[in-house]
Amino acid sequence: MQLRIVGAIGLSLGALALSTLTLGTRTATPSCKGDSGPQKVHLVELYTSEGCSSCPPADARLNALDAPGVVPLALHVDYWDGLGWRDRFARREFGERQRWLVAQGGGQTVYTPHFFVDGQALFGWRDQLAGQLQNRPAAPLRLQVQAMADGRGNVHARIDSTAPGQAGLQLLVGVTEDGLRSRVGAGENRGATLVHDHVLRVLSPPLSLPAGGGTVTTMLPLPDDARAQLQVVAFVQDPRKAQIVQAVQTPRCTLR
């Protein structure tokens, strides 16, 4: 499914209001920490929609990406919500990010399913995705993330980075959820039960990363229905060329 880009593309995803959240999981670790290590960790973004009949095979492919060296994200877009089925995981900001990535690559059309690896559009994902993820060179920066609750329902994320003086980089932090199911009652996927992992439930606006590395802290909101199998993710992008420099995720965490 395709949609022409209309209007200007901005770098920001828009300010997100702060709110409270509760994180729980069926299979979780008590420590919510992640370390990218010195090698490149690939960020795989899939732009998808429950209203798109060609998306379930791509969703299944992303669901299977559960290995070291890869941070998978399913970003559900809302621009197909008017075709008979409203995707409950869709966010307007995710469609805005997709439009920005497409425009940075010189394109004019957004569509689903649409894969990006490290900020670059991937065509022929059935054949090419595995090959794109095999190479893990030394990365120019290292990321460590730690999330904790404050006892009042808020979760705070701390991200530490080490970098060789590169300026102008942006940090984005989010929370993903696994094990989600939807029984679709209308639209192109009517009657299907869709299974989703790595669903991005919330994403921060781009945050400035200190040149040479440093610490950034943020607090993330989360929808009330996001309760199980949650992970905190963070990635650094160079907005001048829409390139992902490094990424990191925690294991599934329990934060109370």
Domain boundaries, the chain: 23-128+138-249
Higher pLDDT: 109 or 17? It is 109
Percent of the chain with pLDDT over 70: 84
In 3D, which of 36, 74, 77 has the Cα closest to residue 248? 36
Asked whether residue 255 carries a pLDDT value surpassing 70, the answer given is no
Name the one residue in this structure whose structure tokens are 């639209």: 187
What distance in Å separates the CA atoms of residue 196 and residue 180, rounded to the nearest whole number?
Answer: 5
Torsion of CA 80, 85, 90, 96, to 10 degrees: 10
User: Region 94-113: what's the mean pLDDT?
Assistant: 96
Residue 218's pLDDT band, with cuts at 50, 70 and 90, is very high
In 3D, which of 96, 83, 14 has the Cα closest to residue 55? 83
In 3D, which of 246, 247, 198 has the Cα closest to residue 73? 198
DSSP structure class, residue 205: P
Asked whether residue 190 carries a pLDDT value surpassing 90, the answer given is yes
pLDDT tens, 63-93? 999 888 999 999 999 999 999 999 999 999 9
User: Region 107-130: what's the mean pLDDT?
Assistant: 93
What distance in Å separates the CA atoms of residue 104 and residue 191, rounded to the nearest whole number?
Answer: 37
What distance in Å separates the CA atoms of residue 178 and residue 197, rounded to the nearest whole number?
Answer: 4
User: Region 32-55: what's the mean pLDDT?
Assistant: 96
Residue 225's pLDDT band, with cuts at 50, 70 and 90, is confident
Higher pLDDT: 233 or 256? It is 233
